[in-house]
């Protein structure tokens, strides 16, 4: 298995301290200047200064030095340059322009979420006491880990070649005609999703929370601070099965609080029994949600600041 983990990411921000303060208020832990993480993973998000909001770096892991050599060889076949100085491997996303580094290693384990007994029809798991979400409502349950990110690409084929054929992400599901490719480097149904866009940009990044109650509380806390941060949710996606709530950070990046995503531990079984590369689009069985909003608002796919991002990228020679 060439890749085994999404370790962390770096964002550039016109107001890095404001973005960092936002995430400290909403559950991330600051471990050093510009470095934020969770209790189990101290480095998940690095924030640096930039002239526009964008993804600057993506940090992945793989199992062995041989995997690094394999990735370098495949990138070379694609005409892309990778630098391997022992470890890590460093290369550049040919469409988006951010750095991708791959280290030999794996993400730190996540301590299991505490069991919270729930009463269901025919089975009482909690008697003579209030639900945990009520009893512990003042105790925040912060994000547990960075789970995935979604890139809008002006050249989907080049992006697919880089992530699938070069780096070795594995396809979990694909919406027909390249509308969206869900891919993984861990057990998560998707750690990365590619979708078409007029310019290269980060559509959203996603943190896993314990459960729906944790998502509701965390999202409500963001909305109490900035009511216009709401983007779409809550709901449950079809592809990946995850519960979602999308909001906007102070820079206008969308982020998602999610839980209960499909986990793929047997690649062959998923490929054989579940992986589909011909899902229909938004009106078909792979539509946006099982419950919750049927569709996101148009700005979910075309954020209003895309022209600003496109201009900044053009100045760097990027589409």
CB of 256 to Fe ion, least distance (A): 4
Binding mask 197-226 for Fe ion (x = CB under 5 A): ---------x--------------------
Of residues 210 and 256, the one with the C-beta less far from Fe ion: 256
Q: One symbol per residue from 162 to 201: x for binding Fe ion (CB under 5 A), - otherwise; what is it?
A: ----------------------------------------
Nearest CB to Fe ion, comparing residues 34 and 235: 235
Q: At its nearest, how many Å lie between Fe ion and the CB of residue 150?
A: 6
SS3 string, the chain, reads CCEEEEEEEEEEECCHHHHHHHHHHCCCEEEECCEEECCCCCCCEEEEECCCCEEEEEEEEECCHHHHHHHHHHHHHCCCCEEECCCCEEEECCCCCCEEEEEECCCCCCCCCCCCCCCECCECCCCCCCCHHHHCCCCCCCCCEEEEEEEEECCHHHHHHHHHHHHCCEEEEEEHHHCEEEEECCCECCCEEEEECCCCEEEEEEEECCCHHHHHHHHHHHHHHCHHHEEEEEEECCCCCCEEEEEECCCCCEEEEEECCCECCCHHHHHHHCCEEEECCCCCCCCCCCECCCCCCHHHCCCCCHHHHHHHHHHCCCC
Minimum gap (Å) between residue 205 Cβ and Fe ion: 8
Partners of 174 in the β-ladder = 181
Residues 234-273 that bind Fe ion (CB under 5 A): 256
For Fe ion, the closer CB: 105 or 216 = 216
Closer of 162 and 182 to Fe ion (Cβ): 182
Shortest Cβ distance from residue 151 to Fe ion (Å)?
11
Which CB sits closer to Fe ion, 213 or 256?
256
Residue 79 and residue 158: Cα distance in Å, rounded? 11
> In this complex, which beta carbon is closest to Fe ion, that of residue 2 or of residue 205?
205
Residue 251 C-beta: closest distance to Fe ion, Å: 18
CB of 65 to Fe ion, least distance (A): 32
Least distance in angstroms from the C-beta of 206 to Fe ion: 4
How many residues contact Fe ion, by CB under 5 A? Answer: 2
Interatomic CA distance for residues 159 and 150, integer angstroms: 12
| 192 versus 206: smaller Cβ distance to Fe ion | 206
- Minimum distance of Fe ion from residue 6's CB (angstroms): 13
Give 67 or 256: the residue with its C-beta nearer to Fe ion.
256
The position carrying tokens 């998707």 is: 190
Taking CB under 5 A as the criterion, which residues in 65-104 touch Fe ion? none
User: Which residues contact Fe ion (rule: CB under 5 A)?
Assistant: 206, 256
């Amino acid at each position: 298995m060439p890749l085994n983990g999404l370790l962390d990411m770096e964002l550039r921000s016109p107001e890095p301290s404001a973005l960092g303060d936002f995430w400290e208020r909403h559950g991330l832990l600051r471990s050093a200047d510009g470095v934020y993480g969770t209790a189990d993973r101290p480095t998940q998000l690095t924030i640096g200064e930039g002239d526009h909001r964008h993804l600057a770096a993506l940090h992945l892991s793989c199992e062995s030095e041989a995997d690094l050599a394999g990735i370098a060889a495949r990138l070379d076949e694609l005409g892309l340059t990778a630098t391997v100085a022992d470890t890590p491997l460093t290369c550049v996303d040919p469409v988006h322009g951010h750095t991708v580094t791959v280290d030999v290693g794996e993400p730190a384990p996540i301590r299991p979420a505490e069991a919270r007994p729930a009463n269901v029809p025919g089975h009482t798991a909690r008697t003579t006491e209030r639900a945990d979400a009520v009893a512990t409502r003042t105790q925040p349950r912060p994000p547990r880990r960075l789970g995935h990110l979604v890139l809008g690409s002006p050249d989907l084929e080049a992006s697919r070649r880089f992530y699938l054929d070069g780096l070795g992400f594995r396809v979990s599901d694909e919406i027909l005609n390249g509308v969206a490719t869900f891919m993984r480097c861990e057990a998560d149904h998707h750690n990365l999703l590619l979708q078409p866009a007029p310019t290269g940009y980060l559509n959203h990044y996603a943190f896993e929370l314990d459960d729906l109650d944790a998502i509701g509380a965390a999202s409500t806390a963001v909305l109490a601070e900035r009511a216009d941060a709401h983007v779409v949710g809550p709901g449950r996606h079809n592809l990946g099965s995850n519960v979602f709530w999308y909001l906007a950070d102070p820079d206008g990046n969308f982020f998602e609080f999610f839980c209960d995503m499909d986990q793929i531990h047997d690649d062959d079984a998923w490929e054989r029994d579940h992986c589909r590369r011909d899902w229909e689009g938004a009106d078909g069985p792979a539509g946006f949600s099982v419950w919750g909003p049927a569709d996101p608002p148009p700005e979910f796919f075309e954020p209003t600041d895309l022209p600003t991002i496109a201009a900044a990228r053009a100045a760097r020679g990027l589409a």
